[in-house]
Amino acid sequence: MSNPLLQQPELPTFGAIKPADVEPAIDELLRRNRAAITALCSDSDNPDWGSLVAPLEQLNDELASAWSPVSHMNSVVNNDELRQAYNACLPKLSQYWTELGQNQQLFRAFGQLSGKAETLDGPQRKVIENTLRDFRLSGIALPPERQQRYAELQQQLSLLTTRFSENVLDATNAWSLLITDEARLAGLPAMALAGARQAAEARQQQGWLFTLDFPSYFAVVTHADDRALRHALYRAYMTRASDLGADAKWDNSQLINDILVLRHELAQLLGFANYAEYSLATKMAESPEQVVGFLEDLAGRTRAVAQQEFQELRDYAREQHGLDELQAWDVPYYSEKLKQARYEVSQETLRPYFPMPRVLDGLFRVAGKLFDIEIEEVTEFDRWHADARLFNVNRNGELLARFYLDPYARDNKRGGAWMDTCRIRRRLPSGELQLPVAYLVCNFTPAVGKDPALLTHDEVTTLFHEFGHGLHHMLTQIECAEVSGINGVAWDAVELPSQFMENWCWEPEALALISGHYQTGDVLPAALLEKMLAAKNFQSAMFMVRQLELSLFDFCLHRDFEPGVTNVQQLLDDVRARVSVVPLPDFNRFQHSFSHIFAGGYAAGYYSYKWAEVLSADAFSRFEEEGIFSPRAGADFRHQILEMGGSREPMELFVAFRGREPRVDALLRHAGIAA
Ligand SMILES: [Zn+2]
């Protein structure tokens, strides 16, 4: 009875959750849900929304609400016991979802309900439509022995992809490099040095400790004058969890192949030619040809500019620094030097202007102006770590949503930045409204000493990005869980609000709100801002082809993979030969830590970032036309996109906001690649 995961409080009681609570709670909820669903099915002769979908939504939301804090804590305060408990539940949950997806009685009941469209509102109809589609994708129409195989595949995939990301995390955590000779640290900014000093002290070591946590890795490859040091970090980072990594037990080579084999079988089992086709069944893009055509078109418009940018970098390194051969581990370093020489602005000189408190306040004011909301911090709440913060989102004094923020990198926290859902907006059976709650997680460089954490402009952009996802989740007005907030939004459209929000990090009017020197309070000086804007598109074509390389690798791999035939490295090399401009060393094993596609939901979907960037750039161009704080454009974006969640097709929503279909012009113009 005392299991905190079974209490279903308004907000999770993180402090009370122990690893030992996890499995019993999930077992109990799964047992209860199964019994309730059996009862629902035996009583579903003439189903309507209230007798079928609403109770089902309630059951699944109770399960989601219990699992959400577990999954969240497993990502941000990982330890062996929690990981074990989490892993023990994965196959059980996967089994449950598979059963649900293969429940013939439910399938028939939803089919009957779809025949009563006149009794349903728009979002409800979309829920029924999506559910029937997902039923088909979960093999409902297959003969029993194939359904069995489908369930096995899903379960194995869930385990293998989890192991993939554990290997990356463990390989990342296991590697460190202690430097005791101060001379080797030349070039590193004071903050990176202080961080490395702190990391060494935390392990009772003398000197400076560098790790493969992104801020540490990135500082070294960008700033360290010592080429051997850059090489050491680059090599360690790019061989994580590979055959060339520190320990064979974390080698993801076999897992990559096994995951691809299973995905291929899964797709064919459901009648698709390959996993790429299967992936597109739930996306905005219509066919593999359309996706590859889209990516190759962008590559074609961008590559020559990228080659030119890379040649400039080579020339600069040779002429100014006497470097004969520019290697991959030199690229960030000389890029930073060239950028400084050309624009005299570096991420590090910008940090003092972006102290965390000022940035957050500015972000909230920008969102407030655009979407008519006020954000206030809640200080008394149950947290999983001292860094965690909680905020209320209000409109005219009325609570709309809440979000947690966990901003800083630390041990046992998964790298990267993300938004996840804690509670979804929905109408409860009692008639009350459940308000949405989000988690925003980042891995910024923590504060050193007494000063506030100082963010790079990149980090500020990341924060705006994740907050954009958060707004999509939190400002929804939809009341059916399945299409509320980011639920039910196609993967390739889900990055629209997040990438859209990044635009404000580049607008003088907005920068006046989000910047302020941590000592003097001065906003970013106009001269620095001008340089920053000039520097904005520095190497943007190189960056674009890098994204296109990853997108094409992911998509072509899942489209062309043949078990026992396809050589993953070869396929990656082929894509690189067509698209990339930076020659990479033979030891580069980037794919072995490419968790987005081997452990996350981006398999045959990494292209979504670029796809959505076209949407977001084009959406923002309306603000360029009408004013970046235009109340009318802001209200339209809120009503047509943010509030609608997944209740309508993304193309319809886009056209409703923009008045026409999306065009690539704004993206290329913003990147300075085309006029
Ligand atoms: Zn995102």
Q: pLDDT tens across 220-238, in order?
A: 999 999 999 999 999 999 9
Measure 418 CA to ligand 1 centroid, in angstroms. 7
Q: How confident is the model at residue 106 (pLDDT cuts 50, 70, 90)?
A: very high
Measure 259 CA to ligand 1 centroid, in angstroms. 24
pLDDT, tens digit, 9 for 90 and up, residues 245-267: 989 999 999 999 999 999 999 99
Measure 174 CA to ligand 1 centroid, in angstroms. 28
Q: Tell me, what's the pLDDT at 362?
A: 98
pLDDT, tens digit, 9 for 90 and up, residues 267-325: 999 999 999 999 999 999 989 999 999 999 999 999 999 999 999 999 999 999 999 99
Q: Tell me, what's the pLDDT at 252?
A: 98
pLDDT of residue 44 exceeding 70: no
How many Å apart are CA 355 and CA 54, to the nearest integer? 46
How many Å apart are CA 288 and CA 265, to the nearest integer? 18
Task: Verify whether residue 432 is a known catalytic residue.
Answer: no
Measure 549 CA to ligand 1 centroid, in angstroms. 18
What is the percentage of the chain residues whose pLDDT exceeds 90? 87
Take residue 204 and report the two structure tokens written for it.
Answer: 């009772």
Measure 443 CA to ligand 1 centroid, in angstroms. 14
How many Å apart are CA 208 and CA 488, to the nearest integer? 47
Measure 41 CA to ligand 1 centroid, in angstroms. 38
Q: Tell me, what's the pLDDT at 429?
A: 87
Measure 45 CA to ligand 1 centroid, in angstroms. 42
Q: What is the mean pLDDT of residues 339-353?
A: 86
Q: What is the mean pLDDT of residues 333-345?
A: 90
pLDDT, tens digit, 9 for 90 and up, residues 616-653: 999 999 999 999 999 999 999 999 999 999 999 999 99
Measure 498 CA to ligand 1 centroid, in angstroms. 6
Measure 636 CA to ligand 1 centroid, in angstroms. 22
pLDDT of residue 151 exceeding 90: no
Query: 269 to each of 522, 620, 634, how far by Cα in Å?
Result: 61, 41, 45
Q: Tell me, what's the pLDDT at 265?
A: 98
How many Å apart are CA 394 and CA 402, to the nearest integer? 9
- For residue 602, what is the enclosing H or E element? none
Measure 359 CA to ligand 1 centroid, in angstroms. 19
Q: Tell me, what's the pLDDT at 534?
A: 78
Matching residue, tokens 């997040």: 498
Instruction: Measure the CA dihedral 131/137/143/147, to 10°.
Output: -100
How many Å apart are CA 400 and CA 136, to the nearest integer? 35
434 backbone dihedrals φ, ψ, rounded to 5°: -90, 130
Which residue out of 466, 479, 549, 613 is catalytically annotated? 466
Q: Tell me, what's the pLDDT at 603?
A: 96
Matching residue, tokens 């699944």: 60
Which residues make beta-bridge pairs with 404?
A: 390, 439
Q: Tell me, what's the pLDDT at 675?
A: 55
pLDDT, tens digit, 9 for 90 and up, residues 376-398: 999 999 999 999 999 999 999 99
Q: Tell me, what's the pLDDT at 558?
A: 98
Measure 609 CA to ligand 1 centroid, in angstroms. 8
User: Which of 13-27, 40-54, 181-195, 511-525 is predicted least confidently?
Assistant: 40-54
How many Å apart are CA 181 and CA 484, to the nearest integer? 55
Measure 292 CA to ligand 1 centroid, in angstroms. 21
pLDDT, tens digit, 9 for 90 and up, residues 437-494: 999 999 999 998 899 999 999 999 999 999 999 999 999 999 999 999 999 999 889 9
Measure 465 CA to ligand 1 centroid, in angstroms. 6
Measure 336 CA to ligand 1 centroid, in angstroms. 25
pLDDT of residue 402 exceeding 70: yes
pLDDT of residue 1 exceeding 70: no
Instruction: Give the chain's mean pLDDT.
Output: 95
pLDDT, tens digit, 9 for 90 and up, residues 69-94: 999 999 999 999 999 999 999 999 99
- pTM for the predicted model, two decimal places: 0.83
Cβ atoms of 436 and 421 within 8 Å: the answer is yes
